[in-house]
Amino acid sequence: MKIKLLSSIAILAISLFSFRADNPIRIVFFGDSITQAGVGPTGYITKMSSIIEKEGLANKYELIGAGIGGNKVYDLYLRHEEDVIAKKPSIVIIYIGINDVWHKTTSRTGTDADKFERFYNALIKRLQNTGAQVVICTPTVIGEKNDNTNENDGDLNFFSGMIRKIAENNKVKLIDLRKSFMDYEVKNNIENKASGVLTTDRVHLNEAGNQFLAETMWATIKNL
């Protein structure tokens, strides 16, 4: 009886192991306050989780937010070991740059272009050395006017161009959020408003903005 019982337990254990889901693809979203809010009830990471669930892929992915308000690219570099590498991600989505530009005009603490590029390249290398796949994003908007009259449009476009070049030089996937958001504004911001279409305050996303960001990111992530 005892032998039969042990055999039954062994067979059951093997069966359970056979049907156990594979380890999920762990994705860490690394960024600033937009990503910090991304795990909230209407945040873009939460929205993406809903999209994944609707597509029947909930067991395949694990999404982790690693955003801190006010962060710039050098802040990400300083905390990447504890907040990203320690989580052993399969994929890291870097979404940074808004504060590097915005804080130049709000508090004179933005990031010079040469320092931005050096920190970004160093961050990518450190993450790639762990075996994680790195995906980087251009910044979205600081003001939603669609005719290039927002105060920071020039710098945002310049930094976005720099990030596109960084992606090319490091052979990493790019999600061009700047282009996607501006295309959306041209089509949908008929009144050329500074906020209220995708953002609450020209920068931080409203629910529609979070949904659009989730859909835009997911369109790339699902094909990695």
User: 174-211 pLDDT, tens per residue?
Assistant: 999 999 999 999 999 999 999 999 999 999 999 999 99
Q: How much is the pLDDT for 20?
A: 30
Q: What are the chain's domains? A: 25-221 (3.40.50.1110)
Cβ partners under 8 Å of residue 153, min gap 6 = 142, 143
Assess whether pLDDT exceeds 60 at residue 43: yes
- Which residues are 67's β-sheet partners? 31
Q: Give the predicted TM-score (pTM) of the model.
A: 0.90
pLDDT digits (tens, 9 = 90+) for 124-165: 999 999 999 999 999 999 999 999 999 999 999 999 999 999
Query: Nearest 5 degrees, angle CA 163-CA 168-CA 174?
Result: 60
DSSP state of 205: B
* Neighbouring C-alpha atoms within 13 Å toward the C-beta of 217: 31
- Which residues are 174's β-sheet partners? 136
Residue 48: which pLDDT band, with cuts at 50, 70 and 90?
very high
pLDDT digits (tens, 9 = 90+) for 78-128: 999 999 999 999 999 999 999 999 999 999 899 999 999 999 999 999 999
- Which two structure tokens, joined as six digits, stand for 164? 């596109």
Assess whether pLDDT exceeds 70 at residue 9: no
**b (16+ CB within 10 A) / e for 163-190:** bbebbeeeebbbbbbbebbbebbeeebe
